[in-house]
Structure 1
Amino acid sequence: MTTAEFAVLNVLSCVERLSTTEIQRAASLTGWSARNALAQLAARGLVVPSVSHGRWQISARGRSAVAVKRKQFG
């Protein structure tokens, strides 16, 4: 897991749903980094698009992953 992917998961673990732009700002990422991280995380089932178009939420699997990775990334 990259630092950007962890930052996205960490942000989403604290908030129910966010847009890509909101995630980008909260995680202090560039637009490209945020979109790339979301795509990679979605491919692994760690985040899912919410019913509200353009918003993302963390999956149960993503919550487990962020709990483990917090020890590694601090």
Structure 2
Amino acid sequence: MTSSAQLRKEALRNGLLATVDMLKRRRAAEVPEGYLDDYVALNWLEWHGGGLRLTVVGENTYKQLTARLG
């Protein structure tokens, strides 16, 4: 049985590539509500100099996702 926390983490994982793209284009307002806070809580993103950037964990997750796409 899948818990709601597991489902949320999977949704966040599925949205990470798009979120990183939006952040690079300075379109953070287009990231679904709550996602940025959850990425920070998961230690996938961190605040740095007034902006968000991938952490080591986030970078590894991002690389795994891009590898799956080929």
With normalisation by structure 1, the TM-score equals: 0.55
Gap runs ≥5 in structure 1:
12-21
Percent identical pairs in the alignment equals 10
Gaps of 5+ in 2: 1-12
Q: What is the DSSP-based 3-state SS (H/G/I as helix, E as strand, rest coil) of the residue aligned with 2:52?
A: strand
1:16-63 deviation line (CA, Å, top 9, x unaligned) = xxxxxx72x728x6726355321121110011001x2x3111101111
Q: Which has the higher contact order (CA 8 A, sep 6+)?
A: 1
Give the length in aligned residue pairs.
58
Structure index of larger Rg: 2
